[in-house]
Amino acid sequence: MAKKANCKEVILDGAEAVVMEMGAVHMSLDVVARKAGVSKGGLMYHFPTKKSLLKAMIERLVAQFYTDRAEISDKVKQGPGQNLRAGILTALAPNEKRDRMGLSILVVAANDPELLKCLKEAHRVHMKEMADSGLDFERAAVISLASDGLMLSEMLGLSPYTPAQKKRLKDTMIRMIEELEAGKG
């Protein structure tokens, strides 16, 4: 069983390398199999279609975000806004691989919204976490939306902000969470 999981990881690593080099639009199962060093039949055993491979890649990106957030969560101030605070710090941390992969996969998902189910579920869970945190939901949601907007504008290369401005924006969001926790927001 471990061998199958390992083979899936090797294939996903190969697929990520292809997307980083060529973009998800140009990814094919043949190219991924070559990059991963597996037969096309071996790849298709685990991922019979390009769509199934893309879906697994998105699930992996989401899982990696949650892993990164958990690591950051252990280091930030505890309290009702801990997950929101850690999520903002994770989302706004420079991560070229996540940004390039995310953007490339979003381009493909625009033609197949079903690929976004995993992201929609992760967002639903995030909204539930905020609603259950005890923070004022509307204010916490505005902070989360600001973080999402900044992350997306960075990913799309549209952000007009300097590194110093981005740091101040991030610091402001964190301060706003602390004010919500203190009942001042």
83 lies in the same domain as 146: yes
Q: Are 44 and 55 members of one domain?
A: no
Average pLDDT, integer, range 82-91: 94
User: What is the DSSP-derived secondary structure letter of residue 157?
Assistant: T
> What is the tens place of the pLDDT at every residue in 20-45?
898 888 899 999 999 999 999 999 99
pLDDT of 24 reads 85
CB atoms within 10 A of CB 164: 8
pLDDT digits (tens, 9 = 90+) for 159-185: 899 999 999 999 999 999 999 999 865
Give the pLDDT score at 100: 86
In angstroms, rounded to a whole number, what is the distance separating the alpha carbons of residues 147 and 160?
15
In this structure, the answer to whether residues 95 and 63 fall within a common structural domain is yes
Looking at residue 4, its pLDDT comes to: 55
Find the CATH number of the domain harbouring 123: 1.10.357.10
Residue 3: predicted pLDDT: 55
pLDDT over 90, % of the chain: 70
The per-residue pLDDT for range 109-164, each reduced to its tens digit, is 888 888 889 889 999 999 999 899 999 999 999 999 999 999 999 888 898 999 99
Q: Indicate whether 69 and 159 sit together in one domain.
A: yes
Mean of all residue pLDDT scores within the chain: 91
What is the number of structural domains in the chain?
2
Q: Are residues 30 and 68 in the same domain?
A: no
For residue 177, what pLDDT is reported? 96
pLDDT on residue 1:
42
Q: Which domain holds residue 11?
A: 1-48
pLDDT at res. 99? 86
SS3 letters for 67-131? HHHHHHHCCCCCCCCHHHHHHHHHHHCCCHHHHHHHHHHHHHHCCCHHHHHHHHHHHHHHHHHHH
pLDDT at position 5: 57
> Are 21 and 67 contained in the same domain?
no
Contact status, residue 42 vs residue 33, Cβ threshold 8 Å: yes
CATH, residue 16: 1.10.10.60
If asked whether residues 77 and 142 sit together in one domain, one would say yes
Rg of the chain over Cα atoms, rounded to whole angstroms, equals 18
Pair 22, 63 in one domain: no
Q: Average pLDDT in the 36-59 region? A: 94
Contacts of residue 59, Cβ cutoff 8 Å, sequence gap at least 6: 118
